[in-house]
Each structure stands twice: as C-alpha cells, then as structure tokens.
Amino acid sequence: MRGAGHRLSIHMNTQLAAADRIAAATAMGAVTLLVADLDAQTRFYRDAVTLQVLDASGDTVTLGRAGRPIVILRHEPSLRHAAAGSAGLYHTAILFESQPALAAALYSVAQHAPGTFTGSADHLVSQAFYFTDPEGNGVELYWDRARTEWSWTHGQVEMSTLFLDPNGYLREHLTEEVLAGSTAQDAASVGHVHLSVGDVATARAFYVDALGFDTTATLGNTALFVSAGGYHHHMAMNVWDSRGAGPRMPALGLGRIDLTLPDADALGALHERLRHYGFAVRDDGRTLGFDDPWNNALHATVQADFAAGGIDPRKPPQAEARTTSSVGRTVSCGGSPPARMSSRTAAMLSPCSNDGCRIVVICGETDVATGESSKPISATSSGIRTRCSASTPRAPRPIRSLAAKTASGRLPD
C-alpha cells in the first residue's frame, strides 16, 4: 500500500505541474499591426516579405503563406507613433520552412525595400535576417535548424550571435529554381514575437507564472526568452530600449498577438490560471482575450489542426541538403535608412558607393571586423550591418554566447 500511495502522489504532482504550464502544443498565431498607411504597409509585406494577401476587407488586410495568416494590418490613421522608450513590439519573427524559401524572401526585400535591412546573425538554433517595416515595426525573417542540433544546459537553450553574411547566404541558397518561384507557395508562420517591456521581473511573473510558458534563456535583468514544448522561444521580452516603461497608450504599432492552443481543455486551463493570478480575461466561449502588464493585447484560441497551413514549430525541420547556387547575387544596400534609427545606424545603411558594401559585426564597444571603437547600436542590438567600403572584410570571430551574459547583454533575437 505504501508503494501504491507513493505512485499516486507522483501522479498527482505531475498533474499539478502540468496544470501550471501552458500546453506543450501551443504555437504563435498572427500578429495584428495598427498602421497609418495601409497601402504602403501592404506593399511591404506582400511585395518585399513575400506574404500573400489572404483577405482584404474594409480597413483590414490579412497576409500570410499557404492559407495561414501571419500579419494582419488594420488601418488606424488617427493614431500616432508611441514615444521613444515605450513598451510594445520589438519584432515579429516569421519562420520559413527551408533555407531556399528564406533566401527568396531575403532577395525580395533587397530588391523591393533595400533600405529596411538592419542586420543578420546565426543564432545556433536559427539563421535570421532583420528589417524595419515602413512604419518602424521590427521584422525578423528566419529558418530553424533541426532540434537535434540545438544544445541545452540546465534547461537553458544555447543561442549566440555569430557572423552571417547575407550575400553569402544568397549565393548558397538562391538557385535558379528559387528565382523562378519554386518556394513561393511554401508555408511560413509566426515563429516568435519579441516585445519591449518595462522590466523583466514583471514580464516573468506574467509570461512564465501566469501564462505558463517555460523559461528557455535569460540575459540577466535585461531579457527573457520563453516557450512551450521545448521550442527555443515563442516569445521574448527585453528592456533594451524601454526600461521602466509603463502601460501603453493607444498608438500605431502592435495591435494584438494571437496564440493557438491545441484544444478546449488547454484553453480552459489557461483561463483558470490567468484568473488565479488576478488577470482580467475576456471570454466569449471560444476565445480568450487578455492584456499583459504593459497593455500588449493577447488573444488565445484553439487551433486543432496545425497541418491546415503553415509550420508547426513543435516539430523539428527536416534535414536539408546544402546546395550552392550557380547564380551570384548581391544584396542591394541603397535607399534611405529607416526612420527612428540612431545616426550611426543611418550612416551604415545609407546608399553605398560603386565600391560596394562590406559586412561588419558590431559587438559592444568594439567593431569585431576592424577593431575600431564603436558604441552599441540600439536598432539591431549587436547584429550585422552593411557599411560602404571597397575593402574585403576580415574573417570575423564568433561573438557573445547567450549563456555568457556579457556586458553588452543584447541580442537581436
């Protein structure tokens, strides 16, 4: 009997632990952006990012891939941009299912919106390229390595910011078939959403304790990465540009973040957990609406069949044979720099001379490629940028493991 009682205790404790966590099959849904210029924003996400218009009704345009919504644009011309230092969206990260599909999107942005490129990096778990849309919203386009290639230590996933040459990426993955549109109908989805918040402790209390995400990585008291089901991160929160920020006022930018849960039981458990922690929940019987401590709106619903479209981030991507393109392509770096960037960033993103562009890595107080002194750049947080130069770049060394928590303490992802 003692043995049976012990087994019962373990079973009950396991059930209680599971009730404290969001469902492992949880994934990200669409991100809604409130925009001033609906036409310009639609052109960027459709023509440059390679999303397809799934619906256009009145003042709202829904864009996605393979029938799955990714970005919803809602026209709000009466709103203005939030003040500098406010909480809100850091970036929406769009996950592509293959390196060629990501290369096609990267090439498309270079062709249609070259001035929006802000950085790139290999994060060990993924390869990522960063942009800013015409209204200043951060956008990440990325591809995941197979989960079998990720490294975990004491429940923390190993991520880093390593040199990733966008031109080299295109030379390797942008084949004639890709240029002809072979990946145009491939699925994509919101892989993760990164937020600017006022402080990490409050973010942890909401996103880990109340919502039930698992912590997968931290950068001291500056950034927190969380996920469900062992993904590297579905959401991240940082204070790099927003430390001390209070609740948001109505403004352009982030409108809503959607979460998809696997079934009604998971949705009900989330409702009970939020109520337990004292957060107001709007429940219409099918969906839950709630706000985080900075008035970032979230919306949870059931998406039983992930196979209906898009990528299921719970599943590792298939290993892919590496191919070398016979077509040499170069990312254009002309055009005006995006608005609301530092002067140093603007100088790096200004039109290049005929001598071409060089890729440099900015890390803390030192330019790794040249050894020149430099201050951290807030717009991409230690990413990789273009700089006009006729010289050939030296081979940069890897920089800043996430686990190392160096003085700069900032990652673009």
pLDDT at 349: 28
Looking at the fold, whether 38 and 147 belong to one and the same domain comes out as yes
Q: Is residue 151 part of a domain?
A: yes
List, as one string, the DSSP characters of 317-383.
PPP------SS-------SPPPSS--HHHHHHHSPP-TT-EEEEEEETTEETTT--B----TTTSS-
Q: What share of the chain is helix, strand, coil (3-state, %, to 5)?
A: 25, 30, 45
Asked whether residue 162 is domain-assigned, the answer is yes
Give dist(CA 322, CA 128) in Å, integer: 17
- Kindly state the percentage of the chain with pLDDT values over 70: 69
Model confidence at 18, pLDDT cuts 50, 70, 90, reads: low
3-class SS at 209?
helix
66-95: average pLDDT:
97
- The pTM of this model reads 0.75
35 with 75: CB under 8 angstroms? yes
Q: Within a domain: residue 100? A: yes
Q: Classify each residue of 265-291 as buried b or exposed e, where b means 16 or more C-beta atoms within 10 Å of its C-beta.
A: ebbebbeebbeeeeeeeeeeeeebebb
- The DSSP result for 55-81, as a single string, is EEETTEEEEEETTEEEEEEEE-TT--P
Decide if 293 contacts 206 (C-beta within 8 A): yes
Which helix (H) or strand (E) element contains residue 5?
A: helix 2-19
Strand partners, 288: 283, 300
Claim to verify: residue 355 and residue 276 sit in the same structural domain: no
**Confidence class for position 297, pLDDT limits 50, 70, 90:** very high
Take residue 33 and report the two structure tokens written for it. Answer: 């952006």
Segment 309-350, tens digit of pLDDT: 444 444 444 433 333 222 222 333 333 333 332 332 232 222
CB 274 within 8 A of CB 281: yes
Domain that holds residue 220: 17-308
Tell me whether residue 385 is in a domain: yes
Asked if 362 and 295 sit in the same domain, the reply is no
Looking at 308, 323, 354, which one is the last position of a domain? Answer: 308
Which pLDDT score is estimated for 92? 98
Are 397 and 295 members of one domain? no
Q: Are residues 136 and 23 in the same domain?
A: yes
| 233, 379: one domain | no
Query: Are 408 and 219 within 8 A, CB to CB?
Result: no
Q: Where are the beta strands (DSSP E) in 220-276?
A: 223-227, 235-238, 253-261
Mean pLDDT over each residue of the chain, to the nearest integer: 77
Lowest mean pLDDT of 157-166, 303-312, 363-372, name the range. 363-372
Regarding whether 166 and 266 lie in a shared domain, the answer is: yes
Residue 304 pLDDT class (50, 70, 90 cuts): low
Residue 329 in any domain: the answer is no
> Would you state the pLDDT for residue 242?
98
Mean pLDDT of 187-205: 98
Among 308, 330, 352, the domain boundary falls at 308
Query: What average pLDDT does the segment 151-175 reach?
Result: 96
Q: Which residue has the higher pLDDT, 227 or 4?
A: 227
Over 80: is that where the pLDDT of 385 sits? Answer: no
Q: Which residue has the higher pLDDT, 241 or 2?
A: 241
Share above pLDDT 90 across residues of the chain, in percent, rounded to a whole number:
68
Residue 122 domain flag: yes
CB under 8 Å to 132, separation ≥6 — which residues?
116, 118, 138, 139, 338, 341, 379
Which one is predicted more confidently, 379 or 64? 64
Residue 145 shares a structural domain with residue 267: yes
- Taking the CA atoms of 80, 82, 84 and 88 in sequence, report the sign of the dihedral they define: negative
Which is more confident, 198 or 371?
198
Indicate the number of domains in the chain.
Answer: 2
Given a cut of 80, whether residue 153 has pLDDT beyond it is yes
Q: Are residues 49 and 127 in the same domain?
A: yes
Selected residue with higher pLDDT from 4 and 82? 82
Q: Does residue 175 belong to any structural domain of this protein?
A: yes
Within a domain: 221: yes
We report the CATH number of the domain holding residue 180 as: 3.10.180.10
95-125 pLDDT, tens digit each: 999 999 999 999 999 999 999 999 999 999 9
CA dihedral 223, 228, 231, 236 (to 10 degrees): -20
pLDDT band of residue 285 (cuts 50, 70, 90) is: confident
Same domain, 347 and 303: no
282 shares a domain with 383: no
Q: What is the mean pLDDT of residues 115-141?
A: 97
Report which of 222, 290, 287, 283 is spatially closest to residue 261, judged by C-alpha positions. 287
Q: Are residues 300 and 388 in the same domain?
A: no
